[in-house]
Amino acid sequence: MKNFTKGFLKENPVFVLLLGMCPTLGVTSSAINGMGMGLATTFVLVMANFVVSLVKSGIPDKVRIPSFIVIIATFVTIVQLTMQAYLPSLYESLGLFIPLIVVNCIVLGRAEAFASKNTVWSSIVDGLGMGLGFTFALTLLGAVREFLGSGKVFGLTIYPEHYGSLIFVLAPGAFIALGYLIAIINKLKKA
Amino acid sequence: MQYIIIIISAIFVNNIVLAQFLGICPFLGVSKKTSTAVGMAGAVAFVMTLATIVTYLIQHNILNPLHVEYLQTISFILVIAALVQLVEIILKKVSPALYQALGVFLPLITTNCAILGVAILTIQKDFNLMEGVVYAISTAIGFGLALVIFAGLREHLDLMNVPKGLKGTPIALITAGILAMAFMGFSGIV
């Protein structure tokens, strides 16, 4: 249970560990994009952790990292092809960031730091917890940016679009919104 | 002419860090001092150019003729990882001085998404080899420019009186946001 919940706040990959910043900033122009990216990464995380913990004793120490990368890249390709077939519009808007899940430090980081040392079951739970923590962070950031930028959350209009400040949907808004979110989370963690 | 457009667009208008959000990890990680930022930028420029050439050749001579384009992600990341190792070994032997300067940054580069990103973008944008090389070099210059400016700003930030809640990462991110806003001024040039 502890392995599962630590990813949400205490060891949240985005807000606390500052891992996986590229997709965090790049795809969160709306809540739904953030969520899609988060769930895709969760799938890769869980499957990679599962396979790595299964085969860990068979991999010589020296070629550990390259083997992990091949395992991760396999699942990323599966996600990429599946999304292209069944969710073409989401695939379009996430674009380059889908193949770039391979170099997301969270995935390799969890495979190396957790799955290569722990049992299959706890590795799956760890992957799921971290992945959902990542999804939570991306969805939250996406919702904040969408709300401030265009007055919508998940595409539902909250206030008229022309009152929104477009900057939050554009690139600079990503940095600024994430900066303030991290400041708020730091405050909450201390309280 | 098309080379000039590629160069200006890659350095200023579509800056890899501030507009496309690639390579954020080194952007936030090694930007505390200007000197390390310059070293990192050099290492990235070197590997990015080599990686783009090699992945371009792989895509057009192996993946396309065999119709196995779906192996792109796997093969590119393996090639980049191997290339980084190779560069490290060769530099150590051939030019110890350069190795001294870039050495510590090289292992970090494998997981720099800007490298894989540029390799894939070169294929997606249908560049020929020469355009790809120009694109890679100018993207690396854009990365270096953003990194060095940001490192300079952060050196000053250390001396400033920042509100308590914003100290550290939050103020760095907000600064990056304002820098990105400044770079938005370039849009429309190309």
Q: What is the pLDDT of residues B106-157, one digit of tens each?
A: 777 777 788 999 999 999 999 999 999 999 999 999 999 999 999 999 999 8
Do residue B24 and residue A22 have CB atoms under 8 angstroms apart?
A: yes
User: pTM value?
Assistant: 0.88
The mean per-residue pLDDT over the stretch B74-98 comes to: 85
In A, minimum Cα distance to B168 occurs at: A183
For residue B103, pLDDT over 70 is answered with no
Q: What is the mean pLDDT of residues A6-34?
A: 85
The alpha-carbon radius of gyration of chain B (Å, integer) is 18
Can you tell me the mean pLDDT for A18-46?
Answer: 90
Instruction: Please answer whether residues B15 and B150 qualify as being in contact, where contact means their C-beta atoms are separated by less than 8 angstroms.
Output: no
Question: How many Å lie between the alpha carbon of B170 and the closest alpha carbon of chain A?
Answer: 4
Range of the domain at A166: 1-190
Chain A residues with CB inside 8 Å of B81's CB?
A: 65-66, 69
How high is the pLDDT of residue A40?
94
| Cα–Cα distance for residue pair B157/A133, rounded to 1 Å | 31
Partner residue opposite B117 with nearest CB, options A70, A81, A96:
A96
Structure tokens at B109: 């580069």
| A27 vs B21: CA distance, rounded Å | 9
Confidence bin at A63 (pLDDT 50/70/90): confident
Provide the mean pLDDT of chain A: 88
Q: How far apart are CA B183 and CA B11, in angstroms?
A: 10
Q: Which residue has the tokens 């820098």?
A: B179
Give yes or no for residue A48 having a pLDDT over 70: yes
Q: Is residue A159's pLDDT more than 90?
A: no
* Percentage of chain B lying above the pLDDT 90 cut: 39
C-beta of residue A82 within 8 angstroms of C-beta of residue A104? no
CA distance B92 to chain A (A): 20
Q: List the single residue in A21, A76, A171 with the smallest CB-CB distance to B28.
A: A21
pLDDT of residue A148: 92
For residue A1, pLDDT beyond 80: no
User: Roughly what angle, to the nearest 10 degrees, separates helices A64-86 and B72-94?
Assistant: 150
pLDDT at B98 over 80: no
Quick one: pLDDT at residue B189?
78
Confidence grade of residue A75 (pLDDT, cut at 50, 70, 90):
very high
* Structure confidence at residue B56 (pLDDT): 95
pLDDT at B176: 93
Averaging pLDDT over each range in A101-105, B90-94, B175-179, which range is the top one?
B175-179
The share of chain A scoring above pLDDT 90, in percent, equals 45
Q: How far is CA A109 from CA A10, A48, A177, in A?
A: 17, 11, 26
Whole-number Å distance between alpha carbons of A43 and A74: 12
Element (H, E) at B101: helix B96-102
Number of domains into which chain A is organized: 1
pLDDT band at A10 (very low <50, low <70, confident <90, very high): confident
- Per-residue CA distances from A116 to A44, A51, A111, A113 (Å): 16, 10, 6, 7
Tell me the C-alpha distance between B155 and A27, whole Å. 29
Spatial separation of the C-alpha atoms in residues B185 and B170, rounded to whole Å: 24
Nearest CB among B22, B73, B172 relative to A102 is that of: B73
